[in-house]
Structures are given as C-alpha cells and as structure tokens.
Homo-oligomer: A and B are copies of this chain.
Amino acid sequence: VNSPIEDRFLTDWSGLRRGAPSELHRPADTSEVAAIVRRCHASHRSITVQGGLTGLAGGAVPADGDVVINLERMNRIEDIDDLEGVMRVQAGATLEQVQSAAAAAGWYFPVDLGARGSCQVGGNAATNAGGQRVLRYGTMRDSVLGVEVVLADGKVLDSLTCLVKNSAGLDPRFLFIGSEGTLGIITRLVLKLQPPPGPPSAAIAALPDVASLARLLRHLKQTLGGMLHAYEFMSRRFVELSVSLTSVGSPVDPSAPWAVLVEARGVQGQTVEESLQAALAFALEDGLISDCAIAASLSDVEAFWRLRQSTPELLTHLKPTVNFDCGLPLRHIPGFVDRVDARLRERFPAAQHLFFGHLGDNNIHLVTGPHREEDMHSVDELVYRELEGHQGTISAEHGIGFIKKPFLAHTRCAAQIELLRSLKRALDPRQVLNPGRVLD
C-alpha cells in the first residue's frame, strides 16, 4: 500500500497540483475505508478522498502529508432489482459501468457526462454531477435514492434505501450529495433507474438574439413537456470554430448570432420527430428562430452533438484558456452575456470568447483564451463581478473544490457560508475529511 505514490494520484483534470501525500490506500470495501478513517480521526490526520480524478475544481488533489483514500477498487455492481428499477453499487464503479449494467437489465441510468469512462458514481454523487441530461432527468442528486457513508469518526451510516418517499425524519443523503467529501465518504449507493427512452430526434435552430434563446426554451417546454431532452446553446463564434475544428458542416446559417441544439425523445418504440418538427415550425413562423435543420437520421443526430461537444478541441486551440461554469436565471442571461462579451472584447481584444452550454439548466459555459498567466485572475474577477446581484452561481455543475473557493462569496451569502461551516463543525470537528475544500 505504501510504496511510492504514482503520479496519477497527485492531480485531476483541472491540472492543479498541491503536494506529496504520505499514504495512498485503495480499500476494497466499506470496512476498510472505515478502519482508515478511524485511524486518521484518532491521530488528527487529513484525508483526501479520490474517485476517478476527473474533477475540474481540484477537490481530489492531495496536499503534503495527506492520507489518500482512492476508491477505484470498490467498483462492484452489487445488485440490480429489475422489478423496482434500482441498482446498488460500490462508490468506485465508473459511470459507464453503471450505464452499461442498467442497459443490460433493460433499464437506463440517465446521468451522463464526457468523463463517463473514468469518473466514478461516488464522485458524481459527492459533487452532484450535472451533464447532458439534466433538463429531463435532473442532476445526480435526483438519481440517488440511498447512500452508505463513512463519517469523520469512522462510523458507518447505512441509508441504502430504495424508497422514493420516506418522511421519517430528515433524509441524510442530502448532507452528502454535493458536499464534495467534506462531511462523509460515500462508499455505496442505491441508484434510481429509468425506463429506456425512445430514439432521439434532434434539430439545430438559428436564433436572431440571445433573448430568443429563453423564449424558445419556454415554448419547447410547453409543447414537448417530458419529451424535451436537451437544449444546448452555442454562440456564432463557437459554431464557426467548431465547424473548422471538426469535420461537421454548419447545418444552419452560420452568420446567425446564436444556435441551439434541441433533442426530443419519447418512450421506447415511439418516434417524436413530428412533434419536434411541429414545435419548431411554429417557432419559425413566430420569428423565435430564423433557420432550422432537423436531423434526418441517427448519424445526423450524432453530427449535431459532435458540433456541440467539440470542447476538447476548442480548449486545445485556444489554450491557455479560462473556463467558466456559471448559472443564471433565464431573464438575466441576455444582459449577462452581452456585458461579459463586451467587457472581455474591450479588455482582451486578441482573445476569443465562446459562450455555450446547457441553457435548459440555466447553465452557461464560457471559454475565453488565449490568456497570459498573469491575466487569469482578472478574467475571473471580470466575469464573476457581472454575476453579482443576478442570483447567479459561479459553479452550476463543476463544484468548488480548491480552485473556486476564493470566489464562493459571489454565490453564497454570509448566512449560507456560516451554515456550511456549522455543518462541518458538527460532522467533522477535527477537520479529517477533505479539509480546505469548498470552505477554509
């Protein structure tokens, strides 16, 4: 266990590096995790909890002297209850493993993100992961029915329920989902499965202005209801660059200021292309959209998604970049986008500023670059300042970890931060679990 610690355990996808941990443990089950935590608790030592190390906020990056608990060996699918549509798994199972096991049982696990092959469901829960399908199925929180957690003193809390309703006292799972490993280590989970959806229908629409993005979303929610599965927006510059970096041609007028990828799905065996077509035809007549291409085949659907998911290529092309994961109420989005775009162009005229993301979840990603190292903090400050007073968040889905900690007060007020502190004091008074993440 305590031979030299491999490099891969020292950083995550954020690229942050903090130091040399003293020990690495890869426990095989909950009782092994509990034993390590008990020992660290007794000797007041700091633990860093690690899942698949795909985080973008540096939360799983260890500091000097930390005891690292990596859950990669706890990757067993323990049970699938086909009648109920639930699955019990160890926290170190990858998201892809869970998706495949669900599909093999005739069910569907809806949480999905680019890191699916490496990220672990325990980490997805600890950070309340979002991804591509939040609009229809919610975040990870909505797909976790029960958890087993090792608490800061090494006690095991078993709340592995599969019940969708339980009003017998506060539900403990919500203390651990989204708390980034600071209040307990999630070791096992009961996941809620969904009936598999039918085949996807998709379209890309061009929009005349950013205000139309929110109005089209409202129209599609009202007409497609639960059939609306994705609503992903892209700025003109995003589409242009994505077209040039991928082999996909622009399916709509590339001079339109905004484009949106819409996906609709029904139940198994049902195609919903007609409903999607009718909803978009109405939007075209109404002037909400200026142009529209509907996928004629599954390979068109894939090409549309390829255009939207070219972020890795864009990041490489524009590096070094500063990346954002903001959330805002829809009514504040046009003003926010216009102001941030104008100020970034003025201040950094040589850089590109690309807006895109899960607009159906109020989530705006912004990639801006290239930037010099010494300008990066100013870029952060410029963008986060524009969020103030608009009930926005600095992290819609990536979490706070270490990297976004300096900016937390842009999103959470003093009373909220004090509440988080009092929870940490109550549940981990010795600061054993992931100290220094989210809060100081």
A396 interface residue per 8 A CB criterion: yes
The reply to whether A267 and B331 form a contact with Cβ atoms under 8 Å apart is no
A183 to chain B, nearest CB (A): 8
Known contacts A195-B225, A413-B158, A422-B427; decide if A164 and B361 are in contact (CB<8 Å): yes
User: Please, could you name 26 A-B residue pairs with CB atoms under 8 Å apart, sorted by A?
Assistant: A82-B218, A83-B215, A84-B331, A134-B164, A139-B164, A161-B393, A162-B391, A164-B362, A167-B397, A167-B398, A168-B394, A168-B395, A168-B399, A168-B400, A169-B179, A169-B400, A169-B411, A169-B417, A170-B178, A171-B174, A175-B419, A197-B225, A224-B267, A267-B275, A422-B426, A423-B423
Contact of A415 among B139, B157, B417 (CB under 8 A): B157
Interface residues, chain A, CB within 8 Å of chain B? 81-85, 106, 127-128, 130, 134, 138-139, 142, 151, 155-172, 174-175, 178-179, 183, 194-197, 214-215, 218, 221-227, 266-268, 275, 325, 327-331, 358, 361-363, 391-400, 404, 408, 411-413, 415-417, 419-420, 422-423, 425-427, 438-439
Question: With A127-B167, A167-B397, A221-B85 given, is the CB distance from A172 to B267 under 8 Å?
Answer: no
Question: Are A396 and B165 also in contact (CB < 8 A) when A413-B158, A426-B422, A426-B426 are?
Answer: yes
Question: With A and B bound together, what is the CA distance between A328 and B162 in angstroms?
Answer: 8
User: Given that A84-B330, A411-B168 are known contacts, is A223 also in contact with B267, CB under 8 Å in the complex?
Assistant: yes
Tell whether A161 pairs with B391 under 8 Å between CB atoms, given A167-B396, A178-B170: yes
Q: Which residues of B contact A83 (CB under 8 A)?
A: 214-215, 218, 330-331
Contact A165 to B362, CB < 8 A, known contacts A195-B225, A422-B427, A425-B426:
yes
Known: A106-B222, A142-B142, A168-B394. A416 touches B174 (CB 8 A): no
Q: Which residues of B contact A155 (CB under 8 A)?
A: 415
Complex: how many Å from CA A331 to CA B80? 12
**Cα separation A399 to B297 with both chains bound (whole Å):** 50
Chain A interface, >50% SS class = loop
CB neighbours (8 Å) of A391 from chain B are: 160-163
Tell me the complex Cα distance, A166–B327, Å.
7
Q: How far is the CA of A394 from the CA of B166 in the complex (A)?
A: 8
CB-contact partner of A130 in B130, B157, B167, under 8 A: B167
CA distance A438 to B99 in the complex (A): 38
A138 to chain B: which residues have CB within 8 Å?
142, 164
| Residue of A156, A159, A170, A215 with highest tally of chain B CB at under 10 A | A170
Q: Is B393 in contact with A168, judged by CB distance below 8 angstroms? A: yes
Q: Choose one: B174, B325, B331; the contact of A174 (CB below 8 Å).
A: B174
Determine the chain B residues whose CB is within 8 A of the CB of A408 once the complex forms. 168-169
Residues of the B chain whose Cβ atoms lie less than 8 Å from the Cβ of A400 = 167-169
Which residues from B are CB-within-8-Å of A172?
A: 416, 419-420
Query: Given contacts A159-B416, A165-B397, are A226 and B223 in contact (CB under 8 A)?
Result: no
**Could you tell me the distance between the alpha carbons of A165 and B169 in the complex, rounded to whole angstroms?**
25
